[in-house]
Amino acid sequence: MTKNYARDFWRRCLRLVCGGNATTSVENPAFDFTMRARSGDYDDLTDEEYKSFLDDVEQITPMWDGQPHRPAGEILLDALRRTAVSGSRMDNIVELLAESSAQSDYRPAQRQADSDSIRKAHLQNAPGGAEDDGEDFEPDELGGLWTPREIYDTCISDQIQGQEEAKKAAAMIVYNHVEGRRSNTIFCGPSGCGKSEIWRCMAKTFPFIRMIDASRLSADGWKGSVHVRDIFEGVSCEDLQNGIIVVLDEADKICCETAVGSGGTNYNALTQNSLLKMLDGDVIEFGREDGKRAFSVDCSKVSFVLLGAFETLLRGKSGKSGGGIGFGAAPRVECDYTNTEITYDDLISAGMRREIAGRINRIVPLRPLNAADYRAILTGTVLKDLQAAIKSTIEIDDATVDYLAERAASTGLGVRWMRSQVQNALDDLMFDDPSRDGYAVNIPGAAERS
């Protein structure tokens, strides 16, 4: 298929609107095209293709009226208002919509509750406070618009370096969830390997993904903590009816570690009790607490993703490796993600309730990033983000790239450290002249230190 900037651009806008992100800002094509060109995205185009892209940009850009951003929904409506639609094209559009309505069921699927009383109580007492007025909710409209491959290519393929198994698993979780197949999954891997970033990228496109810092979660009764009930803060009845994906970051802190209060109560064990009911898809009842009203949440359409480094688990597994003393005894092995895998038995041994482990559909491992990974991230995502932030080109010499990548890998300092080092060097360059067209970043002595 011939490359076409206009088609790619309108496809992005349409996916945002159909994905429930009509208010998401879309960048002015003039700036978007310029930054992509500077980054080398169009280096493989022929002169004819490049000129065609420029023509597309010139035709689309006037709808921004000089603004740097506009909501995707406004852009599409403005485009329709400015488009002269012939009778035949109008018929094609009408046929498409008619076919879609004939194949779609806009009524919500029948709930699997034991009785109508549970459904009614849920609608009246959910966090959004909606009353049951007899009106049906509209289901999620993403079904059929995305394939797993499209989710992968659009949301995470270029944004996350490596971790192919984890990225494909995440795309399948979202796809199955949209198709009405909820799941419970664990993503495990060392700090900085991309677990959280995969789901942050997903959440930018799919608003039904909620990321929660599980390390702050506690059962009701522990003052000063974020409680399990707060997972559903701001979630409406319609959101729950359509289905959401709850991503619990640092979930290993509540599943494989203890949190004992002054009275000797292990509040993480109580938190796991609530988590078990949620993973089961049950209706969860929350009582009144600190002035907050009681409400119930139906988790039958909620998928859960648990993220964690599981460092305590790995240390415990290392302590069990080897064995015996004296001549011929097997040496102790330091278990990490390069030489071991986390199993269901490991989770249970580390403190996770057996019932919870039994409700996990899949354990997805992520490997540590190496210097080559960090090099690609630095020259790709990090560089692109910094260029967009200062609206200017940035060049980094090879010695600096190698030094930062190798140090990030060997010390575990990670991507944020690399970014801060480049930003610091960039700040020094911009101090006297912050409006230059381009900057050459280098760290003195990097070649000798790498």
> What average pLDDT does range 393-400 have in this prediction?
92
Helix-helix angle 5-18:47-60, to 10 degrees: 50
Alpha carbon 375 to chain centroid, angstroms:
22
Q: Are residues 142 and 226 in the same domain?
A: yes
Q: Are residues 313 and 223 in the same domain?
A: yes
- Considering only CA atoms, which of 301, 298, 281 is closest in space to residue 359? 281
Our count of domains for the chain comes to 3
191, 288: one domain: yes
Confirm whether 111 is domain-assigned. Answer: no
Mention every residue, 6+ apart, whose C-beta is less than 8 A from residue 380.
158, 161
Domain match, 92 and 189 both: no
**Which residue type is seen at 425?**
A
- The average pLDDT across 336-361 equals 90
Q: What is the DSSP letter of 301?
A: T
Cα(161)–Cα(369) distance, rounded to whole angstroms? 9
2 pLDDT higher than 80? no
Helix boundaries (H) for 83-142: 87-103, 116-125
- Shared-domain flag, residues 280 and 356: yes
Q: Is the pLDDT of residue 140 over 60?
A: no
One domain for residues 231 and 316: yes
Segment (H or E) for 296: strand 295-298
For residue 104, being part of any structural domain is answered with no
Among candidate residues 311, 339, 365, the one where a domain is terminated: 365
Q: How high does pLDDT run on average in the chain?
A: 79
Paired residues of 362 in beta bridges: 185
User: What are the structure tokens assigned to 176, written together?
Assistant: 């199955």
What long-range pairs does 218-226 form, CB within 8 A, spacing at least 24?
A: 218/259, 218/267, 218/268, 218/270, 218/271, 219/267, 219/270, 219/271, 219/273, 219/274, 220/286, 220/287, 220/289, 221/267, 221/270, 222/259, 222/261, 222/267, 225/267
Which H or E run includes 199? helix 195-205
Look at residues 330, 345, 365 and tell me which one is the last residue of a structural domain: 365
Q: Is residue 202 domain-shared with residue 282, that is, in the same domain?
A: yes
Mean pLDDT for 372-393 is 89
The C-alpha atoms of residue 132 and residue 154 are separated, in whole angstroms, by: 37
Q: Is 406 inside a domain boundary?
A: yes
Q: How far apart are CA 89 and CA 286, in angstroms?
A: 53
Sorting pLDDT into bands at 50, 70 and 90, what band is 423?
very high
Higher-confidence residue of 83 and 373: namely 373
pLDDT > 90 fraction of the chain, expressed in percent and rounded: 24
Q: Does 445 have pLDDT greater than 90?
A: no
Q: Give the end of a domain, one of 319, 335, 365.
A: 365
406 in Cβ contact with 450 (< 8 Å)? yes
113 occurs within a structural domain: no
Task: Give the range of the structural domain holding residue 425, as residue numbers without chain letter.
Answer: 371-449
242/18: higher pLDDT: 242
Mean pLDDT of the region 141-167 = 80
pLDDT single digits (tens) 222-248: 554 667 888 887 788 888 888 999 999
Q: Is residue 196 domain-shared with residue 214, that is, in the same domain?
A: yes
Assign residue 388 the CATH number of its domain: 1.10.8
- The sign one gets for the Cα dihedral 56, 58, 59, 64 is positive
Pair type for strands 25-27 and 217-218: unpaired
Residues 164 and 211 in one domain: yes
